[in-house]
Amino acid sequence: MTDQTASDHRNKAVIVENVPTVGGEHCETTALGVLLNCAGVRLSEPMLFGLGSGLSFIYWDSKQQDLPFLGGRVKPFALTQNLTIRLGLELREQQTSSARKAWDHVRASLDEGVPVGLQLDSYDLDYFRSRVHFAGHFVAIYGYDDETAYLVDTAQQGGRVSTTRDSLAKARAAGGPMSARHRSFTVETPVSRLEAKPPISTIISAIKACAEEFLTPPIANLGNRGIRTASTRIHSFFDRVSDPMRDLPAIANIMERAGTGGALFRNLYRDFLIECQEILAGRPEAERITSAIKAFSQSAQGWTSVAQLIEQAGTTGNRQHLSNASKHLAEIAEIETSAMETLRFL
């Protein structure tokens, strides 16, 4: 590389045009929505979430974690994989241990006018409001210059945001639970335009697959079994964390306001089912979906109550709030299991 070429490269600034930067409710569907929109595929965020069979539950706790994790979705990136397969889209994913190669992959796509999805640890992003490590976060990058990366995050985080290139590199290199070092991905569609509505067979397949996975998890930390596990383990939270007054409100905040295990995903799935019901109007499946819509509306309220009770336990020091949260979780497990049993045989 000549000195002049190197200088031109350092001074380069690239912004992909016509990228939606409003931001959605959930990080992975927000990033995926940006990529799909630029590929000519325009679907609502609930539809993206539902077609990706995104609803689930995970209770995860290990010595590597500062706090127990309660998550209301499938594992990171599974939603993206599920959706692109169902819609017949080409998903190109890269992972590498090399920070230089990782940036080269991203830069090459951006230089061609293609935004890129990234999985990273939100803790290291300059703008992020919750200072807790979470390596299962997603953003879309649509531009860069010498010092700054231009991103799309959730509406809660600001939608159109930016962070330093150094902080982005650190976030992408993070290890620990749910991490995927330097994961980047792009999406391409082999057709000029998809139908405005997904095929009925695709919708039904996505609903049934989500229900099946939720009801038959391989381990007790996932799906409906995971909710019951959380109901049992939540009693120990006072002894599990180092500072209950600080840490229990943090768990509640991550669940409800950062959108990992609170009401967000239940509301998204409810809205997905409402859209599906309209598409399936006149078919017997539409009527069966009605009870599931009501169930997820109810369970969303239950998840909000659980988060509130965990927070109250921390602020008051009263363990009874955790006992009440445990009862709510047991009720939620029953509500969601019944709903998924209906959807399983749609």
Domains contained in the chain, number: 2
Tell me what pLDDT residue 258 has.
Answer: 73
Both 137 and 259 in a single domain? no
Decide: 213 and 74 in contact? Cβ < 8 Å.
yes
Both 160 and 125 in a single domain? yes
Both 242 and 311 in a single domain? yes
Q: pLDDT digits over 118-130, tens only?
A: 999 999 999 987 7
Both 142 and 272 in a single domain? no
Q: What percent of the chain has pLDDT over 90?
A: 82
Both 205 and 184 in a single domain? no
DSSP structure class, residue 89: P
- Given a cut of 50, whether residue 5 has pLDDT beyond it is no
Both 224 and 337 in a single domain? yes
Of 188, 208, 236, the last residue of a domain is 188
Both 105 and 141 in a single domain? yes
Of 130, 162, 188, the last residue of a domain is 188
Is 47 part of any domain? no
Residue type, 53: S
| Higher per-residue confidence, 87 vs 190 | 87
Place of tokens 């809205």: 271
Both 148 and 211 in a single domain? no
Coil, strand, or helix at residue 80? helix
Both 98 and 150 in a single domain? yes
Domain that holds residue 173: 3-41+89-188
- Given a cut of 50, whether residue 2 has pLDDT beyond it is no
Tell me what pLDDT residue 177 has.
Answer: 82
Is 59 part of any domain? no
* 0.85 exceeded by pTM: yes
Residue 173's Cβ-count burial label (10 Å; 0-12, 13-18, 19+) is middle
CATH at 102? 3.90.70.10
Is 71 part of any domain? no
Both 33 and 170 in a single domain? yes
Both 233 and 336 in a single domain? yes
DSSP structure class, residue 319: T
Is 318 part of any domain? yes
Is 255 part of any domain? yes
Query: How confident is residue 220, by pLDDT bands cut at 50, 70 and 90?
Result: very high
Q: pLDDT digits over 31-41, tens only?
A: 999 999 999 89
Both 285 and 143 in a single domain? no
Of 163, 188, 213, the last residue of a domain is 188
